[in-house]
Structure 1
Amino acid sequence: MARRINIIEVTAKSALSKSGLPELDYALNPYMGCMHSCVYCFAIDFTSNARAREDWGGTVAVRTNIIDLLKREIRTARRGIVGVSTITDPYQAIEGRYMLTRNAVKLLAGNGFRVSIQTKSPLVARDMDILTQHPRYIDVGMTVTSTDAKAWKLIEPGSPSPASRLKALSSIQSNGVKTWIFLGPILKGVNDTRESMGRVVEEAGKIGTRIIYDRYKPYRGSSKLIRGIGLNISDFTRTPENDQWWQSTRKTIESLCDSMGVTCTYQPDEWKYERSLNYGSIFQDNFS
Protein backbone atom coordinates (compact mmCIF):
# COMPACT_ATOMS: atom_id res chain seq x y z
CA MET A 1 0.00 0.00 0.00
CA ALA A 2 1.34 3.44 -0.93
CA ARG A 3 2.27 5.71 1.94
CA ARG A 4 -0.13 8.57 2.61
CA ILE A 5 1.57 11.93 2.13
CA ASN A 6 0.66 14.97 4.22
CA ILE A 7 0.98 18.24 2.30
CA ILE A 8 1.23 21.48 4.27
CA GLU A 9 1.50 24.97 2.80
CA VAL A 10 3.90 27.44 4.38
CA THR A 11 5.34 30.87 3.58
CA ALA A 12 9.05 31.35 3.06
CA LYS A 13 11.18 34.31 4.13
CA SER A 14 13.46 34.12 1.11
CA ALA A 15 13.78 32.17 -2.13
CA LEU A 16 17.52 32.12 -2.79
CA SER A 17 19.96 31.07 -0.09
CA LYS A 18 23.73 30.94 -0.17
CA SER A 19 24.89 27.44 -1.06
CA GLY A 20 27.38 25.55 1.07
CA LEU A 21 28.57 23.65 -2.02
CA PRO A 22 31.62 25.15 -3.74
CA GLU A 23 30.25 24.48 -7.22
CA LEU A 24 27.06 26.48 -6.52
CA ASP A 25 26.45 30.11 -5.61
CA TYR A 26 22.84 29.76 -4.52
CA ALA A 27 20.31 27.12 -3.57
CA LEU A 28 16.58 27.20 -4.26
CA ASN A 29 14.31 24.73 -2.49
CA PRO A 30 10.59 25.09 -3.33
CA TYR A 31 9.68 22.29 -0.93
CA MET A 32 10.79 21.07 2.49
CA GLY A 33 10.77 17.34 2.94
CA CYS A 34 10.59 14.80 0.15
CA MET A 35 8.12 12.14 -0.91
CA HIS A 36 10.92 9.89 -2.19
CA SER A 37 11.74 8.72 1.36
CA CYS A 38 15.40 7.98 0.59
CA VAL A 39 17.00 6.46 3.69
CA TYR A 40 20.42 7.96 2.96
CA CYS A 41 19.35 11.59 2.56
CA PHE A 42 21.50 14.15 4.38
CA ALA A 43 18.74 16.74 3.88
CA ILE A 44 16.82 15.45 6.89
CA ASP A 45 19.27 17.24 9.18
CA PHE A 46 19.00 20.48 7.20
CA THR A 47 15.20 20.67 6.89
CA SER A 48 13.95 23.51 9.07
CA ASN A 49 10.27 22.52 9.02
CA ALA A 50 9.87 20.21 12.01
CA ARG A 51 6.91 18.26 10.63
CA ALA A 52 8.70 17.49 7.37
CA ARG A 53 11.92 16.62 9.18
CA GLU A 54 10.38 14.33 11.79
CA ASP A 55 8.05 12.59 9.32
CA TRP A 56 10.60 12.17 6.54
CA GLY A 57 8.92 11.01 3.37
CA GLY A 58 5.45 11.35 4.88
CA THR A 59 5.11 15.13 5.13
CA VAL A 60 6.12 17.78 2.60
CA ALA A 61 5.92 21.53 3.18
CA VAL A 62 5.18 23.64 0.10
CA ARG A 63 6.73 27.12 0.13
CA THR A 64 3.80 28.69 -1.68
CA ASN A 65 5.17 32.24 -1.95
CA ILE A 66 8.60 31.33 -3.28
CA ILE A 67 7.96 32.61 -6.82
CA ASP A 68 6.87 36.05 -5.60
CA LEU A 69 10.00 36.20 -3.44
CA LEU A 70 12.19 35.09 -6.32
CA LYS A 71 10.82 37.77 -8.63
CA ARG A 72 11.92 40.41 -6.13
CA GLU A 73 15.28 38.87 -5.29
CA ILE A 74 16.52 38.45 -8.86
CA ARG A 75 16.24 42.18 -9.43
CA THR A 76 19.31 42.80 -7.28
CA ALA A 77 21.00 39.42 -6.79
CA ARG A 78 24.38 38.94 -8.39
CA ARG A 79 24.20 36.43 -11.24
CA GLY A 80 25.58 33.00 -10.44
CA ILE A 81 24.88 29.27 -10.39
CA VAL A 82 21.70 28.15 -8.62
CA GLY A 83 21.24 24.59 -7.40
CA VAL A 84 17.66 23.38 -7.85
CA SER A 85 17.44 21.81 -5.36
CA THR A 86 19.88 20.99 -2.55
CA ILE A 87 17.70 19.68 0.32
CA THR A 88 14.62 18.42 -1.50
CA ASP A 89 13.71 16.94 -4.85
CA PRO A 90 12.39 19.80 -6.97
CA TYR A 91 10.43 17.44 -9.22
CA GLN A 92 8.80 15.16 -6.66
CA ALA A 93 5.19 14.36 -7.50
CA ILE A 94 3.58 17.41 -5.87
CA GLU A 95 5.49 19.61 -8.33
CA GLY A 96 2.96 18.37 -10.86
CA ARG A 97 0.32 20.35 -8.98
CA TYR A 98 2.20 23.39 -7.72
CA MET A 99 4.68 23.95 -10.60
CA LEU A 100 6.97 26.01 -8.36
CA THR A 101 10.11 24.48 -9.82
CA ARG A 102 8.95 25.06 -13.38
CA ASN A 103 8.26 28.73 -12.72
CA ALA A 104 11.49 29.19 -10.77
CA VAL A 105 13.67 27.64 -13.48
CA LYS A 106 11.96 29.78 -16.11
CA LEU A 107 12.57 32.93 -14.07
CA LEU A 108 16.17 32.14 -13.24
CA ALA A 109 17.32 31.05 -16.69
CA GLY A 110 15.39 33.86 -18.32
CA ASN A 111 17.20 36.39 -16.15
CA GLY A 112 20.75 35.21 -16.64
CA PHE A 113 21.26 32.77 -13.77
CA ARG A 114 22.89 29.42 -14.41
CA VAL A 115 20.55 26.65 -13.21
CA SER A 116 21.79 23.23 -12.16
CA ILE A 117 18.90 20.83 -11.57
CA GLN A 118 19.25 17.60 -9.60
CA THR A 119 16.34 15.20 -9.29
CA LYS A 120 15.38 11.57 -9.40
CA SER A 121 12.06 12.15 -11.13
CA PRO A 122 11.13 11.89 -14.82
CA LEU A 123 8.74 14.81 -14.24
CA VAL A 124 11.64 17.11 -15.16
CA ALA A 125 11.03 16.20 -18.82
CA ARG A 126 7.65 17.96 -18.56
CA ASP A 127 9.58 21.23 -18.70
CA MET A 128 11.39 20.42 -21.94
CA ASP A 129 10.13 23.67 -23.45
CA ILE A 130 11.99 25.70 -20.82
CA LEU A 131 15.07 23.47 -20.83
CA THR A 132 15.48 23.70 -24.59
CA GLN A 133 14.78 27.44 -24.64
CA HIS A 134 17.76 28.06 -22.34
CA PRO A 135 20.27 25.24 -23.03
CA ARG A 136 23.21 27.53 -22.33
CA TYR A 137 21.95 28.24 -18.82
CA ILE A 138 20.60 24.89 -17.66
CA ASP A 139 21.97 21.44 -16.88
CA VAL A 140 19.97 18.50 -15.57
CA GLY A 141 21.33 15.83 -13.25
CA MET A 142 19.53 12.58 -12.49
CA THR A 143 20.38 10.54 -9.40
CA VAL A 144 20.65 6.83 -10.17
CA THR A 145 22.05 4.85 -7.26
CA SER A 146 21.37 1.51 -8.93
CA THR A 147 19.30 -0.01 -11.70
CA ASP A 148 18.62 -3.04 -9.50
CA ALA A 149 15.00 -3.10 -8.32
CA LYS A 150 15.82 -4.67 -4.96
CA ALA A 151 18.42 -2.01 -4.09
CA TRP A 152 16.28 0.85 -5.39
CA LYS A 153 13.20 -0.17 -3.39
CA LEU A 154 15.30 -0.70 -0.27
CA ILE A 155 16.97 2.71 -0.14
CA GLU A 156 14.62 4.90 -2.24
CA PRO A 157 11.19 3.40 -1.50
CA GLY A 158 9.10 6.39 -2.63
CA SER A 159 11.02 7.33 -5.75
CA PRO A 160 10.26 6.74 -9.45
CA SER A 161 11.92 3.75 -11.10
CA PRO A 162 15.50 4.11 -12.36
CA ALA A 163 14.31 3.08 -15.83
CA SER A 164 11.88 6.01 -15.97
CA ARG A 165 14.60 8.40 -14.80
CA LEU A 166 17.05 7.23 -17.44
CA LYS A 167 14.43 7.47 -20.17
CA ALA A 168 13.69 11.09 -19.20
CA LEU A 169 17.38 11.99 -19.03
CA SER A 170 18.01 10.46 -22.44
CA SER A 171 15.22 12.56 -23.91
CA ILE A 172 16.61 15.73 -22.34
CA GLN A 173 20.14 14.98 -23.56
CA SER A 174 18.91 14.25 -27.09
CA ASN A 175 17.24 17.67 -27.12
CA GLY A 176 20.57 19.42 -26.66
CA VAL A 177 20.50 20.10 -22.92
CA LYS A 178 23.56 19.26 -20.82
CA THR A 179 22.95 16.34 -18.48
CA TRP A 180 24.72 14.19 -15.91
CA ILE A 181 24.06 11.19 -13.71
CA PHE A 182 24.78 11.20 -10.00
CA LEU A 183 25.91 7.69 -9.15
CA GLY A 184 25.46 7.85 -5.45
CA PRO A 185 25.56 7.74 -2.73
CA ILE A 186 27.48 4.47 -2.84
CA LEU A 187 26.61 2.30 0.15
CA LYS A 188 28.79 -0.64 1.11
CA GLY A 189 26.94 -3.90 0.56
CA VAL A 190 24.06 -2.29 -1.33
CA ASN A 191 25.18 -0.75 -4.63
CA ASP A 192 28.97 -1.06 -4.55
CA THR A 193 29.55 -4.12 -6.72
CA ARG A 194 31.32 -3.76 -10.04
CA GLU A 195 28.24 -5.14 -11.76
CA SER A 196 25.83 -2.71 -10.11
CA MET A 197 27.94 0.37 -10.73
CA GLY A 198 28.85 -0.85 -14.20
CA ARG A 199 25.22 -0.96 -15.28
CA VAL A 200 24.77 2.71 -14.36
CA VAL A 201 27.97 3.69 -16.17
CA GLU A 202 26.81 1.71 -19.19
CA GLU A 203 23.52 3.64 -19.22
CA ALA A 204 25.47 6.90 -19.05
CA GLY A 205 27.44 5.81 -22.09
CA LYS A 206 24.28 5.03 -24.03
CA ILE A 207 22.81 8.44 -23.21
CA GLY A 208 26.04 10.29 -23.90
CA THR A 209 26.18 11.90 -20.48
CA ARG A 210 28.74 12.03 -17.70
CA ILE A 211 28.93 10.64 -14.15
CA ILE A 212 29.37 12.36 -10.80
CA TYR A 213 29.84 9.93 -7.92
CA ASP A 214 30.21 9.93 -4.13
CA ARG A 215 29.95 7.74 -1.05
CA TYR A 216 27.29 7.78 1.66
CA LYS A 217 28.16 9.98 4.64
CA PRO A 218 26.17 9.34 7.84
CA TYR A 219 24.11 12.13 9.38
CA ARG A 220 21.92 11.83 12.45
CA GLY A 221 18.60 11.69 10.59
CA SER A 222 19.66 9.28 7.88
CA SER A 223 21.54 7.06 10.34
CA LYS A 224 18.24 6.17 12.01
CA LEU A 225 16.72 5.21 8.66
CA ILE A 226 19.81 3.26 7.62
CA ARG A 227 19.57 1.20 10.80
CA GLY A 228 15.86 0.79 10.15
CA ILE A 229 16.49 -1.20 6.96
CA GLY A 230 18.97 -3.48 8.69
CA LEU A 231 22.27 -1.89 7.67
CA ASN A 232 25.11 -1.35 10.13
CA ILE A 233 26.03 2.32 10.43
CA SER A 234 29.60 1.37 11.37
CA ASP A 235 30.07 0.30 7.74
CA PHE A 236 29.82 3.95 6.73
CA THR A 237 31.82 5.82 9.37
CA ARG A 238 35.34 7.05 8.63
CA THR A 239 37.68 4.23 9.63
CA PRO A 240 40.89 2.98 7.96
CA GLU A 241 39.01 -0.11 6.79
CA ASN A 242 36.11 1.86 5.33
CA ASP A 243 38.45 4.38 3.73
CA GLN A 244 40.33 1.52 2.08
CA TRP A 245 37.02 0.16 0.78
CA TRP A 246 36.18 3.56 -0.65
CA GLN A 247 39.53 3.98 -2.37
CA SER A 248 39.06 0.57 -3.98
CA THR A 249 35.50 1.46 -4.99
CA ARG A 250 36.64 4.75 -6.50
CA LYS A 251 39.22 2.93 -8.60
CA THR A 252 36.51 0.57 -9.82
CA ILE A 253 34.23 3.44 -10.84
CA GLU A 254 37.05 5.28 -12.60
CA SER A 255 38.07 2.07 -14.38
CA LEU A 256 34.50 1.38 -15.51
CA CYS A 257 34.09 4.92 -16.81
CA ASP A 258 37.44 4.82 -18.60
CA SER A 259 36.66 1.48 -20.26
CA MET A 260 33.27 2.72 -21.47
CA GLY A 261 34.41 6.18 -22.53
CA VAL A 262 32.34 7.99 -19.90
CA THR A 263 33.64 11.13 -18.21
CA CYS A 264 33.37 10.91 -14.44
CA THR A 265 34.05 13.26 -11.54
CA TYR A 266 34.32 12.60 -7.81
CA GLN A 267 31.74 14.90 -6.22
CA PRO A 268 34.18 16.79 -3.95
CA ASP A 269 36.10 17.73 -7.11
CA GLU A 270 33.02 18.89 -9.02
CA TRP A 271 33.77 22.54 -8.29
CA LYS A 272 36.94 22.23 -10.39
CA TYR A 273 34.88 20.99 -13.34
CA GLU A 274 32.34 23.80 -12.93
CA ARG A 275 35.09 26.40 -12.70
CA SER A 276 36.68 25.11 -15.91
CA LEU A 277 33.47 25.91 -17.81
CA ASN A 278 33.92 29.64 -17.11
CA TYR A 279 30.26 30.56 -16.71
CA GLY A 280 31.44 33.99 -15.62
CA SER A 281 31.67 34.99 -19.27
CA ILE A 282 27.97 34.22 -19.68
CA PHE A 283 27.04 36.45 -16.76
CA GLN A 284 29.33 39.25 -17.95
CA ASP A 285 28.20 39.12 -21.57
CA ASN A 286 24.52 39.30 -20.74
CA PHE A 287 24.25 41.13 -17.45
CA SER A 288 27.31 43.34 -17.05
Structure 2
Amino acid sequence: MKRPSLTYKKPKTLLNKGSGFLEGYSHTLNPYAGCAFGCSYCYVRGMPVSLFREDAWGSWVDVKTEAASVLRKELARAKAKGPVTIFMSSSTDPYQPAEYKEGITRSLLEVMADDPPDFLLLQTRSPLVTRDIDLLQRLGERVRVSMTVETDREDVRKAFSPAAPPIPARLRALRLLADAGVPAQAAVAPMLPSSGSFPETLRSVVGRVCIDDYYRGDGSGGRRSGRLGLEAIYERLGEKDWYSREAFSKQYDSFTRVFPEGSVLASQEGFLP
Protein backbone atom coordinates (compact mmCIF):
# COMPACT_ATOMS: atom_id res chain seq x y z
CA MET A 1 0.00 0.00 0.00
CA LYS A 2 1.41 3.39 -1.02
CA ARG A 3 2.59 5.62 1.79
CA PRO A 4 0.86 9.00 2.08
CA SER A 5 2.73 12.14 1.11
CA LEU A 6 3.88 14.27 4.06
CA THR A 7 3.80 18.07 4.12
CA TYR A 8 5.35 20.03 6.97
CA LYS A 9 3.48 23.08 8.23
CA LYS A 10 3.88 25.28 11.29
CA PRO A 11 0.44 25.95 12.79
CA LYS A 12 -0.55 29.32 14.22
CA THR A 13 -2.98 27.65 16.58
CA LEU A 14 -3.71 24.13 17.83
CA LEU A 15 -6.58 24.33 20.30
CA ASN A 16 -10.00 24.64 18.67
CA LYS A 17 -13.29 25.18 20.46
CA GLY A 18 -15.25 21.99 21.07
CA SER A 19 -18.58 22.00 19.26
CA GLY A 20 -21.29 19.72 17.90
CA PHE A 21 -20.73 16.09 18.91
CA LEU A 22 -17.79 17.27 21.04
CA GLU A 23 -19.48 20.23 22.70
CA GLY A 24 -18.77 18.58 26.04
CA TYR A 25 -15.13 19.55 25.57
CA SER A 26 -13.65 23.01 25.83
CA HIS A 27 -11.20 22.20 23.03
CA THR A 28 -10.19 19.73 20.34
CA LEU A 29 -6.57 19.12 19.36
CA ASN A 30 -5.23 17.55 16.17
CA PRO A 31 -1.46 16.89 15.90
CA TYR A 32 -1.82 16.18 12.18
CA ALA A 33 -4.18 17.04 9.36
CA GLY A 34 -5.17 14.08 7.21
CA CYS A 35 -4.90 10.45 8.24
CA ALA A 36 -2.96 7.62 6.63
CA PHE A 37 -5.40 5.01 7.92
CA GLY A 38 -7.99 6.32 5.43
CA CYS A 39 -10.88 4.30 6.87
CA SER A 40 -13.79 3.96 4.46
CA TYR A 41 -16.35 5.08 7.02
CA CYS A 42 -14.45 8.12 8.35
CA TYR A 43 -16.81 11.11 8.59
CA VAL A 44 -13.87 13.46 7.94
CA ARG A 45 -13.98 12.37 4.30
CA GLY A 46 -17.06 14.60 3.93
CA MET A 47 -15.59 17.61 5.74
CA PRO A 48 -13.83 20.65 4.21
CA VAL A 49 -10.37 19.48 5.35
CA SER A 50 -10.78 16.57 2.92
CA LEU A 51 -13.15 17.94 0.27
CA PHE A 52 -10.94 20.91 -0.57
CA ARG A 53 -7.86 18.77 -1.22
CA GLU A 54 -7.14 17.39 -4.66
CA ASP A 55 -5.69 14.13 -3.33
CA ALA A 56 -7.82 11.35 -1.88
CA TRP A 57 -8.38 11.01 1.87
CA GLY A 58 -5.69 8.75 3.27
CA SER A 59 -3.08 9.72 0.67
CA TRP A 60 -1.78 12.88 2.38
CA VAL A 61 -0.81 14.02 5.86
CA ASP A 62 0.15 17.47 7.11
CA VAL A 63 2.66 17.34 9.97
CA LYS A 64 2.27 20.23 12.41
CA THR A 65 5.84 21.21 13.21
CA GLU A 66 6.85 23.02 16.42
CA ALA A 67 3.42 22.07 17.77
CA ALA A 68 4.64 21.73 21.36
CA SER A 69 5.72 25.37 21.63
CA VAL A 70 2.39 26.50 20.20
CA LEU A 71 0.42 24.32 22.61
CA ARG A 72 2.45 25.40 25.64
CA LYS A 73 1.40 29.02 25.12
CA GLU A 74 -2.20 28.25 24.16
CA LEU A 75 -2.73 25.87 27.04
CA ALA A 76 -1.55 28.40 29.60
CA ARG A 77 -3.89 31.04 28.17
CA ALA A 78 -6.83 28.64 28.06
CA LYS A 79 -6.32 27.47 31.65
CA ALA A 80 -6.29 31.07 32.84
CA LYS A 81 -9.86 31.43 31.50
CA GLY A 82 -11.36 28.30 33.08
CA PRO A 83 -11.44 24.47 32.99
CA VAL A 84 -9.73 22.90 29.97
CA THR A 85 -10.94 19.59 28.61
CA ILE A 86 -9.35 18.31 25.40
CA PHE A 87 -10.41 15.74 22.81
CA MET A 88 -7.39 14.49 20.84
CA SER A 89 -8.11 13.92 18.06
CA SER A 90 -11.33 14.85 16.28
CA SER A 91 -10.25 14.63 12.63
CA THR A 92 -7.09 12.53 12.54
CA ASP A 93 -5.46 9.69 14.42
CA PRO A 94 -2.74 11.03 16.74
CA TYR A 95 -0.86 7.74 16.43
CA GLN A 96 -0.95 7.20 12.69
CA PRO A 97 2.27 5.91 11.06
CA ALA A 98 3.90 9.35 10.71
CA GLU A 99 4.00 9.59 14.51
CA TYR A 100 6.68 6.87 14.70
CA LYS A 101 9.19 9.27 13.15
CA GLU A 102 7.74 12.72 13.78
CA GLY A 103 6.73 12.36 17.44
CA ILE A 104 4.32 15.30 17.34
CA THR A 105 1.76 13.62 19.60
CA ARG A 106 4.40 12.66 22.16
CA SER A 107 5.70 16.24 22.22
CA LEU A 108 2.16 17.48 22.95
CA LEU A 109 1.72 14.93 25.74
CA GLU A 110 5.00 16.11 27.26
CA VAL A 111 3.57 19.63 27.43
CA MET A 112 0.35 18.37 29.03
CA ALA A 113 2.20 16.15 31.50
CA ASP A 114 4.03 19.26 32.72
CA ASP A 115 0.93 21.46 32.69
CA PRO A 116 -2.08 19.13 32.83
CA PRO A 117 -5.49 20.03 31.42
CA ASP A 118 -8.50 19.10 33.54
CA PHE A 119 -9.14 16.14 31.26
CA LEU A 120 -7.75 14.64 28.06
CA LEU A 121 -9.43 11.99 25.95
CA LEU A 122 -6.95 10.35 23.61
CA GLN A 123 -8.81 8.75 20.68
CA THR A 124 -6.83 6.32 18.52
CA ARG A 125 -6.86 2.91 16.86
CA SER A 126 -3.12 2.44 17.03
CA PRO A 127 -1.10 0.30 19.47
CA LEU A 128 1.62 2.97 19.23
CA VAL A 129 -0.16 4.72 22.11
CA THR A 130 1.56 2.27 24.47
CA ARG A 131 4.89 3.93 23.66
CA ASP A 132 3.70 6.90 25.72
CA ILE A 133 2.54 5.03 28.81
CA ASP A 134 5.11 6.91 30.88
CA LEU A 135 3.46 10.24 30.06
CA LEU A 136 -0.06 8.87 30.39
CA GLN A 137 0.78 7.63 33.88
CA ARG A 138 1.87 11.14 34.83
CA LEU A 139 -1.56 12.44 33.78
CA GLY A 140 -3.24 9.89 36.04
CA GLU A 141 -7.02 10.17 36.21
CA ARG A 142 -6.96 13.25 33.99
CA VAL A 143 -6.59 11.07 30.88
CA ARG A 144 -8.58 8.33 29.21
CA VAL A 145 -7.38 6.39 26.18
CA SER A 146 -10.24 5.47 23.86
CA MET A 147 -9.12 2.65 21.57
CA THR A 148 -11.29 2.03 18.51
CA VAL A 149 -12.17 -1.66 18.21
CA GLU A 150 -15.07 -1.72 15.77
CA THR A 151 -15.14 -5.49 15.35
CA ASP A 152 -13.34 -8.65 16.36
CA ARG A 153 -13.27 -9.98 12.79
CA GLU A 154 -10.16 -9.32 10.73
CA ASP A 155 -12.01 -9.95 7.46
CA VAL A 156 -14.36 -7.11 8.35
CA ARG A 157 -11.52 -4.83 9.45
CA LYS A 158 -9.70 -5.45 6.17
CA ALA A 159 -12.85 -4.71 4.16
CA PHE A 160 -13.51 -1.35 5.86
CA SER A 161 -10.07 -0.15 6.96
CA PRO A 162 -7.26 -2.18 5.38
CA ALA A 163 -4.56 0.33 6.35
CA ALA A 164 -5.51 0.36 10.04
CA PRO A 165 -3.75 -1.76 12.68
CA PRO A 166 -4.97 -5.36 13.14
CA ILE A 167 -7.53 -6.00 15.85
CA PRO A 168 -5.33 -8.39 17.91
CA ALA A 169 -2.68 -5.67 18.21
CA ARG A 170 -5.25 -3.21 19.54
CA LEU A 171 -6.44 -5.74 22.13
CA ARG A 172 -2.87 -6.28 23.27
CA ALA A 173 -2.49 -2.51 23.62
CA LEU A 174 -5.56 -2.33 25.84
CA ARG A 175 -4.09 -5.05 28.05
CA LEU A 176 -0.82 -3.14 28.38
CA LEU A 177 -2.65 0.07 29.26
CA ALA A 178 -4.67 -1.77 31.91
CA ASP A 179 -1.55 -3.35 33.37
CA ALA A 180 0.04 0.10 33.57
CA GLY A 181 -2.98 1.58 35.32
CA VAL A 182 -3.89 3.93 32.49
CA PRO A 183 -7.67 4.60 32.25
CA ALA A 184 -8.97 3.23 28.96
CA GLN A 185 -12.07 2.20 27.08
CA ALA A 186 -12.86 0.36 23.88
CA ALA A 187 -14.77 2.41 21.31
CA VAL A 188 -16.93 0.11 19.20
CA ALA A 189 -17.40 3.03 16.87
CA PRO A 190 -18.72 2.65 14.35
CA MET A 191 -19.89 -0.84 15.25
CA LEU A 192 -19.19 -3.22 12.40
CA PRO A 193 -20.22 -6.84 11.86
CA SER A 194 -18.68 -8.96 14.59
CA SER A 195 -18.86 -12.41 16.13
CA GLY A 196 -21.13 -13.41 19.00
CA SER A 197 -18.14 -13.58 21.35
CA PHE A 198 -17.07 -9.98 20.75
CA PRO A 199 -18.42 -8.68 24.09
CA GLU A 200 -16.55 -11.37 26.02
CA THR A 201 -13.37 -10.63 24.10
CA LEU A 202 -13.48 -6.96 25.05
CA ARG A 203 -14.52 -7.68 28.63
CA SER A 204 -11.28 -9.62 29.07
CA VAL A 205 -9.16 -6.54 28.35
CA VAL A 206 -11.18 -3.46 29.33
CA GLY A 207 -13.82 -2.43 31.83
CA ARG A 208 -15.60 0.27 29.84
CA VAL A 209 -17.07 0.30 26.34
CA CYS A 210 -18.64 2.96 24.14
CA ILE A 211 -20.84 1.80 21.26
CA ASP A 212 -21.77 4.02 18.35
CA ASP A 213 -23.13 3.77 14.82
CA TYR A 214 -23.47 5.97 11.76
CA TYR A 215 -26.95 7.18 12.69
CA ARG A 216 -25.93 8.48 16.11
CA GLY A 217 -22.31 9.37 15.60
CA ASP A 218 -21.78 11.07 12.23
CA GLY A 219 -23.54 14.29 13.19
CA SER A 220 -26.16 14.04 10.46
CA GLY A 221 -28.38 11.12 11.43
CA GLY A 222 -26.47 8.84 9.07
CA ARG A 223 -26.81 11.00 5.96
CA ARG A 224 -23.14 11.95 5.84
CA SER A 225 -22.09 8.31 6.12
CA GLY A 226 -24.71 7.31 3.57
CA ARG A 227 -22.86 9.29 0.92
CA LEU A 228 -19.68 7.22 1.39
CA GLY A 229 -20.94 4.08 -0.36
CA LEU A 230 -20.61 1.91 2.72
CA GLU A 231 -23.67 -0.21 2.01
CA ALA A 232 -21.83 -1.89 -0.87
CA ILE A 233 -19.15 -3.15 1.55
CA TYR A 234 -21.80 -4.69 3.79
CA GLU A 235 -23.36 -6.36 0.77
CA ARG A 236 -20.02 -7.83 -0.36
CA LEU A 237 -19.55 -9.28 3.12
CA GLY A 238 -23.09 -10.67 3.18
CA GLU A 239 -23.78 -8.60 6.30
CA LYS A 240 -26.36 -6.09 5.11
CA ASP A 241 -28.46 -6.57 8.26
CA TRP A 242 -25.74 -4.76 10.18
CA TYR A 243 -26.30 -1.62 8.10
CA SER A 244 -29.52 -0.59 9.85
CA ARG A 245 -30.73 1.37 12.84
CA GLU A 246 -31.94 -1.83 14.50
CA ALA A 247 -28.45 -3.33 14.63
CA PHE A 248 -27.35 -0.86 17.29
CA SER A 249 -29.89 -2.03 19.87
CA LYS A 250 -28.95 -5.67 19.36
CA GLN A 251 -25.24 -4.97 19.78
CA TYR A 252 -25.78 -2.69 22.77
CA ASP A 253 -27.88 -5.34 24.49
CA SER A 254 -25.26 -8.01 23.84
CA PHE A 255 -22.64 -5.89 25.63
CA THR A 256 -24.86 -5.03 28.61
CA ARG A 257 -25.30 -8.74 29.25
CA VAL A 258 -21.53 -9.11 29.69
CA PHE A 259 -20.30 -5.82 31.17
CA PRO A 260 -21.20 -4.44 34.62
CA GLU A 261 -24.04 -1.96 34.90
CA GLY A 262 -23.02 1.54 33.87
CA SER A 263 -19.92 0.47 31.95
CA VAL A 264 -21.54 0.29 28.50
CA LEU A 265 -22.20 3.75 27.11
CA ALA A 266 -23.96 4.83 23.95
CA SER A 267 -22.62 7.25 21.35
CA GLN A 268 -21.84 10.77 22.61
CA GLU A 269 -22.04 9.94 26.32
CA GLY A 270 -19.19 7.49 25.95
CA PHE A 271 -16.81 10.15 24.67
CA LEU A 272 -17.62 12.89 27.20
CA PRO A 273 -15.10 13.85 29.91
Instruction: Please indicate, yes or no, whether the TM-score normalized by the shorter chain is above 0.5.
Output: yes
Does the 8 Å CA contact 1:52/1:60 hold for their aligned counterparts?
no
Q: List alignment gaps of at least 5 residues for structure 1.
A: 275-288
Deviation, structure 1 residue 104: 0.8
The one-letter code matched in structure 2 to 1:268 is Q
Does the 8 Å CA contact 2:5/2:60 hold for their aligned counterparts?
yes
Deviation, structure 1 residue 3: 1.9
Distance in 2 between residues matched to 1:197 and 1:184, nearest whole Å: 16
| Partner SS for 1:57 | coil
1:107-146 matches, within 5 Å, as 107-113=111-117, 114-146=119-151
Relative to the length of structure 2, the TM-score reads: 0.84
Cα distance change of structure 1 residues 117 and 82 upon mapping to structure 2, 3 Å threshold: same
In structure 1, the partner of 2:264 is 264
Distance in 2 between residues matched to 1:224 and 1:251, nearest whole Å: 23
Cα distance change of structure 1 residues 221 and 257 upon mapping to structure 2, 3 Å threshold: closer
Deviation, structure 1 residue 107: 1.3
Identity across matched positions, percent: 25
Cα distance change of structure 1 residues 264 and 6 upon mapping to structure 2, 3 Å threshold: same
1:175-186 matches, within 5 Å, as 175-186=180-191
Deviations 1:69-107 (A, max 9, x none): 101111211332111111000000110111111111221
Distance in 1 between residues matched to 2:24 and 2:122, nearest whole Å: 13
Cα distance change of structure 1 residues 81 and 109 upon mapping to structure 2, 3 Å threshold: farther
Q: List alignment gaps of at least 5 residues for structure 2.
A: none
Does the 8 Å CA contact 1:185/1:213 hold for their aligned counterparts?
yes
In structure 2, the partner of 1:151 is 156
Distance in 2 between residues matched to 1:10 and 1:52, nearest whole Å: 15
Is the aligned partner of 1:172 residue 2:173?
no
| Partner SS for 2:140 | coil
In structure 2, the partner of 1:63 is 64
Cα distance change of structure 1 residues 62 and 155 upon mapping to structure 2, 3 Å threshold: same
Does the 8 Å CA contact 1:19/1:25 hold for their aligned counterparts?
yes
| Partner SS for 1:77 | helix
Root-mean-square deviation (CA, aligned residues, Å) is 2.8
Does the 8 Å CA contact 1:120/1:144 hold for their aligned counterparts?
yes
| Partner SS for 1:124 | helix
Distance in 2 between residues matched to 1:142 and 1:249, nearest whole Å: 21
The one-letter code matched in structure 2 to 1:32 is A
Cα distance change of structure 1 residues 53 and 184 upon mapping to structure 2, 3 Å threshold: farther
Deviates more, 1:7-16 or 1:198-207: 198-207
Relative to the length of structure 1, the TM-score reads: 0.79
Is the aligned partner of 1:95 residue 2:127?
no
The one-letter code matched in structure 2 to 1:100 is I
Distance in 1 between residues matched to 2:208 and 2:39, nearest whole Å: 23
Deviates more, 1:111-120 or 1:41-50: 41-50
The one-letter code matched in structure 1 to 2:252 is E
Cα distance change of structure 1 residues 250 and 225 upon mapping to structure 2, 3 Å threshold: closer
Does the 8 Å CA contact 1:14/1:69 hold for their aligned counterparts?
yes
Does the 8 Å CA contact 1:33/1:53 hold for their aligned counterparts?
no
Cα distance change of structure 1 residues 153 and 134 upon mapping to structure 2, 3 Å threshold: same
Deviations 1:151-190 (A, max 9, x none): 101111111101101101111012111100110213xxxx
Cα distance change of structure 1 residues 52 and 144 upon mapping to structure 2, 3 Å threshold: farther
Deviation, structure 1 residue 65: 2.8
Is the aligned partner of 1:212 residue 2:217?
no
Distance in 2 between residues matched to 1:182 and 1:136, nearest whole Å: 18
